[in-house]
Amino acid sequence: MRLTPDADAEELRETVRAFLGKHADTAAVLRGPSGEPGWDPATWSRFAGELGTVGLDVPEDLGGAGASFREVAVVAEELGRSLVRLPWFSTAVLGVGVLLHTDDGAARADLLPGLASGEVTATLAYREDPEGWDPGRLATTATPDGDGWRLTGTKILVVEGAAVDLLLVAARTPEGPGIYAVDADAPGLVRTPMRAMDPGRRLARIELAATPARAVTTPGGALPILAKVLDRAVAALAAEQLGGAAAALESAVAHARDRIQFGRPIGSFQAVKHRCADMALHVEAARSASAWATAATAEASGELPLAAVTAALRCGSAYRYVAAENIQVHGGVGFTWEHPAHLHFRRATTSAVLFGDHAEHQERLLTELGV
């Protein structure tokens, strides 16, 4: 298993970082986009279309680059550094992930090219209970309706659910859970933004009332697909958390080097120096965990469930710690809205519970270890 990105992936990193630095710098992120859909359409079109960041691991015959999840993780890490709001995670990780793993070849051929080009944005709506994801308690129903289906139920914590073009919804049938594609303008669909701590990753509540839908899996075929997609999402989120933690560490170190008190840089004081050293240890531990999860996802390894939950625990904890310590190193200015330190803290806090909280991941880790 190769744990390090190759030269092509590093070249992609430089390209993505340069693009985000030019079109989504700190000032732009702090200012935020105005109007709908909540991101700059021109920036998204170039990021998804010209750079090809959505279709990186989509096969070439379906409009993608035919690369691997290693390249996807590179983009996730760079977006974690930037904190710009774009529908990349919901589309490239969740939406593309479902269609890459579906057993419905026609749905894959019809829907993936639009996602890969960035012309269509998508997300996955699977969660109904604030306490976590339990397939056995799936309440949203799918009822046959001629050649299609009708969905009824409610989903919560749907990433970019109020703004994307296509919803991929988990619903139950007598044969078991399936996944269904719902257009954003479908009748009976109500999308309500939810209050979230992170302004760069919007969540939504989705209500469906006999809403027309198209099946993208066989009835009863959703659970193994969802398991793979959620592990993919956790691995991508870990890479993003690593990028955010690394950026917060760099910000703290730069401030400690440049800020002068009592005639000396504050980084020369032991309290600040040790704080930065501890932050660096957390970042490097997160880097190792993220590399394992990325490689396991790219190679469809049997280690993926264990690698993903390990990365969730390690990278989530590291980002929360480093983001909080970055504020402390900056002192008073770190607590102001004008400084980006709070954006990393808010992203770290939200990401830590996006696909399960610390306790859920610990329980899963023990299960994977057979304890």
Domain harbouring 129, CATH code: 2.40.110.10
Range of the domain at 196: 123-220
CA 285 to chain centre: 20
For residue 66, being part of any structural domain is answered with yes
For residue 2, being part of any structural domain is answered with no
Read off φ and ψ for residue 159, nearest 5 degrees.
-65, 120
Please, is 260 exposed, middle or buried when counting C-beta atoms within 10 Å of its C-beta (0-12, 13-18, 19+)?
A: exposed
How many Å apart are CA 127 and CA 115, to the nearest integer? Answer: 22
Residues 181 and 236 in one domain: no
Residues 12 and 73 in one domain: yes
Residues 309 and 208 in one domain: no
Please, is 168 exposed, middle or buried when counting C-beta atoms within 10 Å of its C-beta (0-12, 13-18, 19+)?
A: buried
Number of domains within the chain: 3
Tens of each residue's pLDDT in the chain, 371 residues: 888 778 889 999 999 999 999 988 777 787 776 666 888 899 999 999 999 999 999 999 999 999 999 999 999 999 999 999 999 999 999 999 999 999 899 999 999 999 999 999 999 999 998 888 888 889 999 999 998 999 999 999 999 999 999 999 999 999 999 999 999 999 999 999 998 888 889 999 999 999 999 999 998 999 999 999 999 999 999 999 999 999 999 999 999 998 888 889 888 898 899 999 999 999 999 999 999 999 999 999 999 999 999 999 999 999 999 999 999 999 888 878 788 899 999 999 999 999 999 999 999 999 999 88
Domain boundary among 162, 195, 220: 220
Residue 239 in tokens: 């890479």
Residues 259 and 210 in one domain: no
Domain boundary among 85, 104, 121: 121
Task: State residue 33's pLDDT score.
Answer: 66
**Is the whole-model pTM more than 0.75?**
yes
For residue 215, being part of any structural domain is answered with yes
HSE at residue 202, side-chain half, CA atoms within 13 A, is 22
Domain boundary among 220, 253, 288: 220
How many Å apart are CA 156 and CA 168, to the nearest integer? Answer: 13
